[in-house]
Structure 1
Amino acid sequence: MRIVPPAGPARALAVAQLTDSIGLGGYLVCSALYFTRTVGLSATQVGFGLTVGWAVAFVAAVPLGHLADRRGPREVAIMLALCTAAALLLFLFVRSFVPFVLAACVYSSAISGLAAARQALLAGIVAAADRTKVRAALAAAVNGGIAIGAGLGGLALEVDRATAYLTVFGVDAVSLVVSALVLLRVPSVPPTQVVHGEPRLAVLRDRPYALVSLLNMVLQLHIPMITLAIPLWIVERTSAPGWTVSALLVLNTATIVLCQVTVANRVTDLAAAVRFMRYAGATLLVACAVFATSGFGAPTWLAVVILLVAAATQASAEMMQASGAWELSFGLAPEGRHGQYQGFFGSGFTVARMLGPLLVTTVVLGWGTAGWLLLGVVFLLAGVAMGPAARWAERTRATAPEPAMACPS
């Protein structure tokens, strides 16, 4: 599979995600300063509001995914893309704390449900053997779009005026509307028919799948590690210049855009997925150890080299973890229930995004080298434990009945 998916529904889905990720990149860069400088909220209020928003999104992800199964993933994805755009427009009119928290809840819930619906849509239009490869191409598109949007957001930061930030929010909202229109080119997937006597949210009773999702959530702590802990570590504990932070993020993004599909092509079944998750845990341990050495008082040039090596190692682990996670999340989910199952699996990312920054920064900045090594060991144990958990989940799939599909209207 090339970086660009073949012509057809998968390419349209990639274009949709590329489009709205450009707006997302601008939002990620500008949102904190907009809420503090333009709206007038304190940093504590912004942090608390976003945490509440992601907590609500965690609860809403499975019901919204279930809605995608019942009503059709394409239709629900379009609706949630428009809801996300509306939430961004609400941010433009927020001038106090309570409306900010409400808008953050709408935004976070809509974007989490949108991710679940898109995953269910992918499962419905792509053969099972190709889902991980196509998902990798989508990830490359998303990272490329975020990089472009971050550049536009950087221009707004340079201008540092309310109109610049408002423009970025407006562009983000428009990109989501365009993304919803692009989804109209993707074939509609028939909704799932409810089986009598089956629980509505079956994933909440699926303990093996929950364990796999939990272990994946632990491995996803590498996200706040690269986006928050490492920048703070560089500034506070190393002699590396501040521009090193940007260099590492650019390296991470470029590596994923160029190499994620190649890595995913090697994950062809559940056994390979488990192996790659184990590799990811071990590689993250190595990355943590290398990051720790950058704080040993190395001269500037050597600190930069060490950080670049560590970041490259972390990016390799991230690609292995993502590829394995996609194969597991699709391969262990019953056909016809991908919406709720992907919503549940994706909620691990929400938890990592919500609690990870506090956990990772406390361990790394508070304990130094010991904290880095502890974090690395946690990654290793999660990767190793994924094998027994995935095999347990796979055994339970053999006897689970497949849901019936409703006839398309």
Structure 2
Amino acid sequence: MRNSSAPKSGIMSEAGVEDDFRKERGAVQKLLYSEAVSAFGGGLWFSMWAVYLTAVKGIPAASMGLAMGLGGGAGLLAAVPVGALADRHGARQVFVTVSLARGLLVLLFLTTNGFWSLLVAAALFTAAETSGRGVKVTLVYLLMPDHRRLTVLAQARVVQHITYAAGAGAAAWVLSTDTAGPYYAALTTVALSAFLSAAVLIGLPPTPPVPAAQRSSGTRAVRDIPFLTLMSTTALLSLCWPLLSSGLPLWLQYRTAAPVWLAPVTVVISSLFIALYQVRVTRQGESLRGAVRSTRKAGIALAACCLLLAAAAWPSDALLSSLTVLAGLAAHIYGELHYVASRWGLSLRLMRRDAEGEYQGLAASTEGAVATVGPAMITTLVTGALVGGWAVLAVVFVAAAAPTPALCRRALRARGAGGSTGPAPREESGR
């Protein structure tokens, strides 16, 4: 009887494993489809909003910039409360709601015609945008086994870059027109992309909420000073994005012999290498020790990028200047890849169990805060302090990464004193 039952047990076990694999693969496909559709809308909107608001809606550029900046800053405050809602009601359920809200709120920009209405629209839309990033990471964490989480997040980022570029391409066509109709149609498309993304997410397995007896007050993450400090310092490394989008074009235009058209080329090259290597590099952040190493690599590489871009101002020969810029781009790509890997690794390994939404909301808000002030900071440094500005930025990158080992040790001590945590114990081994 034991012999006859053993094969059946084995078959059932294999069938169960195969069924789990199919479910996991189906969940990953839905996550990636949702990300693809959402990122297309993002690329379309973020590539055209400035021209739309000034040229079509007639809002003065100064008022537009101030309203978007203040509104965006206010919207960041929603990330932690929405993350707490994800813990209370389930991450998938809240992510679907946030995606629907994002689609509705982008339509507010159809009605904006002045400073105050734009301020409100920017605050509400940014709240949905930033909150969605934190809840998405929480959802992946809850749906995927430990060894697959960072890989799926990396795959989502690859898909995001590809379809974001497609959305930006669509925006280029919109920007080439002289009438308001294509802009309104584009805004409607952005809303529809958010609705379709939400529809795909509904097909994911529901994620159970945190039991009432285990819920935090909703302020647990912001009271976790080691985690808050770590997320705030490492978020400064996300200045790498406005460095490429805001700082480099101005530097090429006014201070180097390299052609200004090299700026969009660097974005294309960067996106290509992210698509090729993000999944591979992200695996280095699967252990806490690996995430710390990736943070250090990111800080050093991004500092080197700044120094190389500063050096590009010295050659009078266009080719030599361009080659120096491309060397800086190589350092930037390496640093960005490792920054993303380290950010996920640190935030997932050091957050508290049963408050995942809160913690990822906090991580998203710190990065969002840097994204809000980053373009102005980079522009000021590059156009005001020139080579000295690049040196200051290099110091910022090194200083942002330097305290990571000590802050991780503090966070681990606090975790040990404060009870349960998110990941399994193996991340402390530095495997």
Q: Compute the displacement of 1:6 (Å).
A: 7.0
User: Amino acid of the residue matched to residue 231 of structure 1?
Assistant: P
Q: 2:54 aligns with which of 25, 36, 41?
A: 36
**Secondary structure in structure 2 of the residue aligned to 1:308:** helix
* 2:43 pairs with 1:14: no
Distance 1:155 1:303 in 2: 31
Q: Is the 8 A contact 1:288 1:376 kept in 2?
A: yes
> Is 1:383 aligned to 2:398, yes or no?
no
Greater Rg over alpha carbons, structure: 2
Deviations 1:346-401 (A, max 9, x none): 11221111111222221222111121112112211221211111121122222333
Of 211, 219, 230, which aligns to 2:229? 211
Q: Deviations over 1:210-246 (max 9, x none)?
A: 1111111111111211111111111111122231111
Tell me the alpha carbon deviations over residues 155-176 of structure 1, each in whole angstroms, 9 at most, x when there is no partner: 1112242112122211111111
- How much does 1:97 deviate? 2.2
- Secondary structure of 1:203's counterpart equals coil
Amino acid at match of 1:211: T
Change (3 A) 1:29 1:366: same
Q: What's the counterpart of residue 371 of structure 1?
A: 389
The whole-number CA distance in structure 1 between the counterparts of 2:296 and 2:214 is 39
Match for 1:166 among 184, 189, 202? 184
Q: Alpha-carbon deviations, 1:282-311, whole Å to 9, x = none?
A: 111111110001111432222222212211
Q: CA deviation at 1:91?
A: 0.9
Percentage identity across paired residues of the two chains: 28
Is the contact made by 1:195 and 1:403 (CA closer than 8 Å) also made in structure 2?
Answer: no
1:236 maps to what in 2? 254
Cα distance in 2, alignment partners of residues 373 and 6 from structure 1: 46
After superposing the two structures, state which structure 1 stretch, 190-199 or 43-52, moved more: 190-199
> Equivalent residue for 1:301?
319
Task: Spell out, residue by residue over 1:14-59, the C-alpha distance to the aligned partner (whole angstroms, 9 max, x if none).
Answer: 1111111001101111100000000001111111111122211221
What's the secondary structure of 2:206's corresponding residue?
A: coil
Give the aligned partner of residue 414 of structure 2. 396
TM-score (norm: length of structure 2): 0.89
Who is 2:375 aligned against? Answer: 357
Which of 91, 109, 116 is the aligned partner of 2:134?
A: 116
Contact 1:81/1:110 (8 A) holds in 2: yes
TM-score norm. by structure 1 comes to: 0.94
Cα shift at 1:197 = 9.2
Q: 1:314 aligns with which of 325, 332, 335?
A: 332
Q: Deviations over 1:81-106 (max 9, x none)?
A: 11111111111122222211111111
Q: Secondary structure of the residue that 1:149 maps to in structure 2?
A: helix
Which structure 2 residue ranges, 5 or more long, are not aligned? 1-22, 423-431
1:83 aligns with 2:101: yes
Asked if 1:139 is matched to 2:157, the reply is yes
CA distance in 1, matches of 2:76, 2:93: 22
Asked whether the 8 Å contact 1:17–1:179 carries over to 2, the reply is yes
Amino acid paired to 2:104: A
Tell me if structure 2 keeps the 8 A contact 1:263–1:323: yes
CA contact (8 A) 1:131 1:327 kept: no
Matched, 1:254 2:276: no
> Given that residues 291 and 345 in structure 2 are in contact (C-alpha distance below 8 angstroms), is that contact kept between their aligned partners in structure 1?
yes
1:36–1:46: 8 Å Cα contact kept in structure 2? yes
Contact 1:70 1:191 in 2 (8 A): yes
Q: Which runs of 4+ in 1 moved over 4 A?
A: none
Aligned twin of 1:407: none
Q: Does 1:279 align with 2:320?
A: no
The whole-number CA distance in structure 2 between the counterparts of 1:213 and 1:317 is 17
Deviation, structure 1 residue 258 = 1.5
